[in-house]
Amino acid sequence: MPADAKEMELSSQFIEMLMTIHNNFYRQTQIPLPLNQFAVLVAVRSEAKASITQIAENLRVSKQQMTAIMDKLLAAGIVAKEKDPSDRRCCLVSLTPKGEAVLAEQDEKVKTRLNERLAALSSDQLETFRQSLTTVTQTIDSMFPA
């Protein structure tokens, strides 16, 4: 199989894995917000404080769409906005305690669902799964060095 075909196969497998995780964990646990708002929360958590423009670029969302999403999250008290001290034209967004609680609750639901499913695996399957997760995580980290 040519290298390009192997890369395409890996890309397809990776996307399939992401969809499997989404369908079996996030969709099944009924995310408490619309998916676009939830994605923004996750992006804000990963950045700690980020500009609205930066979040929009990272999520490939137009600035107009991001403004509408952000307005809803601000009104719900899930995120907070403050002026960027290094650039007064920009605003930085961070999670509020309520936003942190929303994500923590969702994380707990996913962990609970995963633990329920892990209980059905043999010890050999658990070890294979653990090693696979370690390998995937390390490989992705090596592809995107800090």
Other C-beta atoms lying within 10 Å of the C-beta of residue 102: 21
Q: Is the pLDDT of residue 107 over 70?
A: yes
User: pLDDT tens digit string along 48-63?
Assistant: 788 888 889 888 889 8
Q: Is the pLDDT of residue 1 over 70?
A: no
30: left (phi over 0), alpha (psi -120 to 50) or beta: left
pLDDT of residue 95: 94
Token pair recorded at residue 17? 């894995």
Q: Which residue has the higher pLDDT, 86 or 7?
A: 86
